[in-house]
Every structure is written in structure tokens, then in C-alpha cells.
Amino acid sequence: MTKKAESDRIDIYTRITDRIVEDLETGVRPWMKPWSAANTHSRITRPVRHNGLPYSGMNVLLLWSEQVSRGFSSSMWMTFKQALELGGVVRKGETGSTVVFASRFTKSVADGNGNDVDREIPFLKAYSVFNIEQIEGLPDSYYAPPAKVRDPVERIERADRFFRNTGAVIRHGGNQAYYSPDMDYIQMPPFEAFRDAAGYASVLSHEVTHWTAAVHRVGRDLSRYAKDRTDRAREELIAELGSCFLCADLGIAPELEPRPDHASYLQSWLSVLANDKRAIFQAAAHAQRAVSFLHSLQPEAELKAAA
């Protein structure tokens, strides 16, 4: 990788992380913005590409932030070229929104012993996309009104089925919600302790993201969770993001007000992001793997319904 390419990649990490830190410093968790009071009438979904496929990981956070800050009601995005191919044109003066593409390429390098070995080199590329509200001339189907918000009862029934299909052991009692890695169960307060069924489901979405960490699931290391504040903060950030992704998929709102035990992580997250510009990217990637794993546990019919 050239020095310029490496510098550009570092700059992408820095620019995006600094933007997130700016929100956190004011007490705002940017991944919660889609569920703000001004947006509760809408159906919160993941951002989607021009072909209807949802974005994942870090791009969900980036485009949620753009959609809220710029007042777009549509969750669909496409590149300048894709708009042209569909017969549309980006309106003059419109500015794009940044998304990133992460991958690896194989490069042959000397190993110090005179031998060439293949090594995988990670790279990160940023490019711009435009919301369809910035584009004119697309087929009428792209401007169709957003899907109606599902009936609350239907949403909760679907969420209940989703959690049941994971096979997670969920115990009830006490006044704390947590996942026990040693015993591999989720502890939840009694259902009646929550404001409503959606509140129960949103807390459970956080804990079931922790549950995916077991080695026979996605395999995140929680061995230092109880001992190391930084490791604990990183895992809590993964669970928060995973909960947001999952809640959007299930049509329910995540924990809008952080629980007392989680509110304390705000300063820890700021410290982690200040010392590691890749931390939010890694957390989003882990959260995406966790949620993808949870979806993989659903029967085929449920997966089709989600799509």
C-alpha cells in the first residue's frame, strides 16, 4: 500500500470517529438518532441500496446520521453512476454522503529469508452516495411512500418469535438484565417490570447481542469483561450497536434512555475512541456479525418475512 493510500485510509477513520466523538461529548449517542421524538411516526429501518439490499455495519451508522441530520424521509441511497443507469440525475448543488467499503487484497512480500509470501492487506475506501430525495427522474417505484409502520401487536409477536428461535436460555427475576458468560444464560427482570412489551424486547435485544459472544456462536472474547474497563466498554458498545441494528430489523425501538449501568460507559467510549480511531468500525463490524448470526438461527419463513 502506498503512503498516500495509507494516509487516506487513516484520514477516513479519523474523520468519521471525530464526528461520532463530537456527538458523544454532548451526551448524544449518535446511533440512537433515528428514534428521536421527531421521528417516532416513521418506520425505522436500515438504510438500503438502490437494489433494496440493506447496508450493514458502519454504513448503517453513517447513513442513519445523514438521514436524520439532513431530514430525508427515504432510507434508499445510490451512487451518482447508479442514478444515471436508472435514468435519474442528481440535482445540481446536491452533496453526497460518505459510506465506506472495507476489504482485503493479497500481496506478495519478502519474509526476510529471501522468500516471497502472500499476505492479506486490509484496505478501506470511502465513496459518496445520494439519497433518492436528491435525485430526479428515477422510475416512479423509487418514490413510492414508505411502508406503513407495522401494528404494535404484530411487531411484538414477531420479536417474541425471533428471540425464542435463538434458543437462548432466558431467566426472569430480580431487577437486573445481564448475560452470564460462565453459565451461558440471559437474566431479565420480570416482564411486568418493563414499561411495555416493546421495552422488554429492546432490553432483551441488547442482552442477546452479548449472548452471541460465546465461542460456539460468533466467538468474542469476554474473559476480561469483568476485569478491564476498556474491554467492558468495547463489549457494551458492540451490544448497543447490535441492539440498534436488531431493533430496526424487528421494528421496535431500542433502549432510548441508557440504564444506569450503561450510562457510565459514555466516558469510557470517549476514551476508547480517542485512543483508537478504528474502534467504532470494529464495534460496528462485531455488532453486524452478532445480528447476522441471530438472523441465521431463524426458520426460513421468518427470514423471508424479514426480507
53-98 pLDDT, tens digit per residue, is 999 999 999 999 999 999 998 999 999 999 999 999 999 999 999 9
Residues 34 and 109 both lie in one domain: yes
Helix (H, G, I), strand (E, B) or coil at 213: coil
Helix (H, G, I), strand (E, B) or coil at 170: strand
Residues 169 and 111 both lie in one domain: no
Residues 128 and 210 both lie in one domain: no
- Strand ranges in 150-257 using DSSP code E only, listed in sequence order: 170-172, 178-180, 185-188
Last residue of one domain, picked from the residues 143, 172, 206: 143
Residues 129 and 164 both lie in one domain: no
**pLDDT of the residue at 72:** 92
Q: Report the predicted TM-score, pTM, of the whole model to 2 decimal places.
A: 0.88
Tell me how many domains the chain contains. 2
Last residue of one domain, picked from the residues 119, 143, 167: 143
The H helix count followed by the E strand count for the chain is: 10, 8
**pLDDT of the residue at 4:** 52
**pLDDT of the residue at 257:** 80
Residues 166 and 209 both lie in one domain: yes
**pLDDT of the residue at 286:** 97
Q: Which domain holds residue 254?
A: 152-306
Residues 117 and 100 both lie in one domain: yes
**pLDDT of the residue at 10:** 64
Residues 77 and 156 both lie in one domain: no
Residues in the chain where the model's pLDDT stays below 50? 1, 301, 307
Residues 156 and 302 both lie in one domain: yes
Residues 138 and 174 both lie in one domain: no
Residues 80 and 207 both lie in one domain: no
> Which of 159, 117, 13 is CA-nearest to residue 170?
159
C-alpha cell at 240: 448497543
| d(C-alpha 161, C-alpha 186), whole Å | 16
**pLDDT of the residue at 121:** 65
Residues 254 and 233 both lie in one domain: yes
Last residue of one domain, picked from the residues 89, 118, 143: 143
Residues 214 and 274 both lie in one domain: yes
